[in-house]
Structure 1
Amino acid sequence: MTFTAAAPEALDIVVSTMASDAHTWNLVYLQLLLEEHGHRVTNLGACVPDDLLVDHCRRARPDLIVLSSVNGHGRLDGLRVIARLRAEPELLATPTVIGGKLGITDEADAQAGHALREAGFDEVFTGTGAIGRFTSYLSRRSTAVAA
């Protein structure tokens, strides 16, 4: 795997799970994918308490927050976490996305998307093609930062 140097349009990105999710391979994958696209990544790891995520993002002021869930509780955790992030004036406008397994069924994943966007997530990535849609979203974000 070849990593590219951070370009001027590179984003500072925080990648994390939420408090109930102990999965790490999804975070490693996302970190490598983002770094391969030239972005700077801080990976907070698994089982991240809400306070740690909020405090870190408030201090770091990332260009993008990426939350990943594999355990099927992403919708519930995501609703709680986005409320905490959006309650912080410094993070109110920070682009924040979520993806992975957000419910315990594919139907639950599809239904979660609407609720999570309404709650304040900029984008939700689930199901077949989620990584492709995510990389397209990244390209648009990078272009917007460079402009």
Structure 2
Amino acid sequence: MEQHGKAEPAGLEVVVTTMASDSHTWNLVFLQLLLEELGHRVTNLGACVPDELLVAECRRIEPDLIVLSSVNGHGQQEGLRVIAALRACPELRRTPTVIGGKLGIAGSDDPTRQEVLLAAGFDGVFEDAGAVTDFRAFVGSLSAGVLL
């Protein structure tokens, strides 16, 4: 079927990435497939993405959602630096941005981690047993035009 006019396909434009020190990719493949299954368009920036490249690509793409995933246990530490860079960019200041995965080397037992990351500017933090279900609900709220 041929599309006419300028109507955009349904779904969100999403950027999925890791941070500079995280070389894991299966988590990104999983997130990309999950988001695509939900009807969204995904740009997967891959592993070991420098902050400057992430900001530049997000400025170019103008996503509806930025998803940072970490497996190496440095998610909180690096996430604080990355969210500061994203929020310092006027074009990205209000873009919903979430982080998830293994965010600390001690596991998900740190009761203050979520509070710290949310206070720093993340709109969602997903790292416990219900993370995928909670993430799907969060993305669904954005699709419906409501930020949780």
In 1: Cα distance, 2:112 partner to 2:71 partner: 16
- 1:36 equivalent in alignment to 2:52: no
Residue 102 of structure 1 and its aligned partner are, at CA, apart by: 0.4
1:96 match: 97
Query: Which residues of structure 2 form unaligned runs of 5+?
Result: 1-7
Measured in 1, the distance between the counterparts of 2:61 and 2:9 equals 19
Secondary structure of the 2:60 match is helix
**3-state SS of the aligned residue for 1:93?**
coil
For structure 1, list consecutive stretches of 5 or more residues without a partner in the other structure.
1-5
Tell me the amino acid that sits aligned with residue 123 of structure 1: G
Q: How many residues align?
A: 138
> Is structure 2 residue 33 aligned with structure 1 residue 52?
no
Identity level (%)? 64
The structure with the largest helix share of the pair is 1
1:7 Cα deviation (Å)? Answer: 5.2
Q: Are 1:81 and 2:47 matched, yes or no? A: no
Instruction: Give the structure 2 partner of residue 107 of structure 1.
Output: 109
CA contact (8 A) 1:13 1:65 kept: yes
Answer yes or no: is 1:24 the counterpart of 2:25.
yes
Computed over aligned residues only, the root mean square deviation of the Cα atoms, in angstroms, reads: 1.3
Which structure's CA Rg is the greater one? 2
Alignment of 1:137 onto 2:138: yes
Partner-residue secondary structure (3-state), 1:89: coil
Tell me, yes or no, if the aligned pair for 1:15 and 1:41 is still in contact at 8 Å. yes
Cα offset, 1:130, TM superposition: 0.2
> Deviations 1:87-118 (Å, cap 9, x if unpaired)?
0000000000000000012223x432111100
Question: Following the alignment from structure 1 to structure 2, what is the Cα–Cα distance between the partners of residues 93 and 66?
Answer: 14
2:14 aligns with: 13
Corresponding residue of 1:3 = none
Asked if structure 2 preserves the Cα contact closer than 8 Å seen for 1:7 and 1:38, the reply is no
* Partner SS for 2:69: strand
The one-letter code of the counterpart of 1:67 is L
What TM-score do the two structures reach when normalised by structure 2? Answer: 0.90
Could you tell me how far apart the structure 1 residues matched to 2:112 and 2:132 are?
19
- Compute the TM-score of the two structures, normalised by the length of structure 1: 0.91
User: What is the alpha-carbon distance in structure 2 between the residues aligned to residue 93 and residue 139 of structure 1?
Assistant: 18
